């Protein structure tokens, strides 16, 4: 169990640091009105999570690699990648309606919760 936590922690540290630097670099080079740095990190993290999942499955690599690379690194790089992979799993299982509801509900509730938290904190 402690070994699993270490793998997740090391991967998460690397992913979080990578996210910060990449997000800042993209935003500085493309100073648009919307957060292009965050969007870039989220899309890249989703692509990376999908690639890693496919590679780990194809090569039969153990759970430790998944904890380090997907749960740790991709989870630290962006939690959006976990959300995207959960939707892919629903789609792979033929659950289009549930995947659609999960995606729309997560985005709507996430934005509403962030707004409510901000509103509550500002009093």
Rounded alpha-carbon distances, angstroms, from residue 79 to 1, 2, 9, 13, 123? 22, 22, 14, 13, 28
Q: Is the pLDDT of residue 86 over 80?
A: yes
* The pLDDT of residue 103: 94
pLDDT in tens, 7-61: 999 999 999 999 999 999 999 999 887 788 988 999 999 999 999 999 999 999 9
Please, what's the largest Cα pairwise distance for the chain? 53
Element (H, E) at 51: helix 36-59
* The pLDDT of residue 110: 85
* The pLDDT of residue 35: 84
The conformation of residue 96, written as its DSSP 8-state character, comes to: H
Q: Is the pLDDT of residue 118 over 90?
A: no
List the domain boundaries for the chain.
2-78
């Amino acid at each position: 169990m402690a070994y699993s936590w270490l793998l997740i922690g090391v991967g998460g540290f690397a992913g979080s640091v990578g996210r910060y630097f990449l997000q800042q670099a993209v935003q500085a080079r493309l100073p648009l009105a919307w957060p292009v740095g965050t969007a870039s990190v989220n899309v890249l993290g989703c692509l990376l999570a999908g690639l890693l999942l496919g590679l780990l499955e194809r090569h039969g690599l153990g759970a430790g690699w998944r904890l380090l690379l997907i749960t740790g690194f991709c989870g630290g790089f962006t939690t959006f990648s976990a959300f995207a992979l959960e939707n892919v799993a629903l789609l792979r299982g033929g659950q289009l309606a549930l995947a659609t509801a999960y995606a729309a509900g997560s985005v709507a509730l996430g934005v509403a919760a962030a707004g409510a938290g901000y509103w509550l904190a500002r009093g």
